[in-house]
Structure 1
Amino acid sequence: MPHKKKATTEEIIRVIHAYLSEEIELKDAAQQLQVHTSTIRRWIRHYKAEGIQFFMPHEHNRVYSAELKMKAVLSYLNGEGGYMFI
């Protein structure tokens, strides 16, 4: 079975922008990048939180600020979504 072609950072950003500007639907975005719709949703959450930096290669684990961590904890405790969403 052939492997899926990995989407480039530029392709991912282009599709995310097209989805956010309502040029394409979620299922079309997923189809273009050959990924599941849940992957597109996750990428969009990360893009909104971290911007394009999320998609850039990095050598070390990400370090989140204390402020961002506290905001996530409070959002979770206030019932604003599950831990995967936040």
Structure 2
Amino acid sequence: MVKYKPELKAQIVHEYLSTAQSINDLSEKYHIGESQISRWVQRYQLNGPDALKPRRHKRNFTADFKLSVINYYQTHEDSMAEVADRFDILPSQVSIWRSIFE
């Protein structure tokens, strides 16, 4: 898995939001997949610029938080990836918590 610098992510997201360039154009310009750029844009729009930076520490989640994520997933038509982006967690965490809950 390729890791991209937060500065590059921010630059691409800024170009997308401030110019008429499409995600497809940016994908070709930077040789980065469209789905990756889409995820960066969505995370930025939901959680701000800090969502593009790497985490420096392990996070611990409360049972209430986990239940609220699962409740949101079950009551909305969002995909697991969309729910994960909304709550700033990994899609695999949503899947694991859902399995445990069931």
Give the Cα separation in 1 of the matches to 2:31 and 2:60.
30
TM-aligned CA distance change 1:76 to 1:61, over 3 Å: same
Deviation at 1:23, TM superposition (A): 2.1
Structure 1 position 37, deviation (Å): 0.6
For the pair 1:40 / 2:37, whether they are aligned, the reply is yes
Query: How many Å separate the matches in 1 of 2:66 and 2:47?
Result: 11
Equivalent residue number for residue 15 of structure 1: 12
Q: Name the SS of the counterpart of 2:81 in structure 1.
A: coil
Match in the other structure for 1:73 = 70
Q: CA deviation at 1:10?
A: 2.1
CA distance in 2, matches of 1:50, 1:7: 18
Q: Which runs of 5+ in 2 are unaligned?
A: 84-102
Q: Which runs of 4+ in 1 moved over 3 A?
A: 62-69, 72-75
Percent identity between matched residues is: 22
Q: Which runs of 5+ in 1 are unaligned?
A: none
TM-score normalised by structure 2 residue count? 0.57
Note the 1:47-86 alignment, pairs <5 A: 47-62=44-59, 70=68, 72-86=69-83
Provide closer, same or farther for how the CA distance between residues 63 and 11 of structure 1 changes in structure 2, counting only shifts above 3 A: same
Distance 2:70 2:19 in 1: 31
